[in-house]
Amino acid sequence: MSIKIENEKFYILEAGDEKWIYISEKGAIKSLKKLLAETKDLNQENVSILEVDTQEESWRIKQIPWSKIAIELIRGEL
């Protein structure tokens, strides 16, 4: 399976020992929302969404702030 990188960025959702790749931040947050609804014993310490920016020769990785994720979840626009 392959994913085409759009806008030079992709996103990784980490939850426990598992990881998923998404082409958009909203897609990763939407999947997190679904995962949280389905999994009652998910440890909050082991959950994050990372943004991987491939624009330059050295890729940059940053964690999406929880405040931004919370706003998206609260607004319910996903």
Does 39 map to a domain?
A: yes
The type of residue at 8 is E
Range of the domain at 25: 9-75
* Residue 2: inside a domain: no
Q: Does residue 38 sit within a domain?
A: yes
Segment 4-23, tens digit of pLDDT: 888 899 999 999 889 999 99
Q: Is residue 47 part of a domain?
A: yes
User: How many domains would you assign to the chain?
Assistant: 1
Longest dimension (CA), the chain: 40
Q: For residue range 28-57, what is the model confidence (pLDDT) as tens digits?
A: 999 999 988 888 777 777 899 999 999 988
Would residue 24 count as lying in a domain?
Answer: yes
DSSP notation for 39-64: -TT--GGGEEEEEEE-SSSS-EEEEP
Rounded to two decimals, the pTM is 0.87
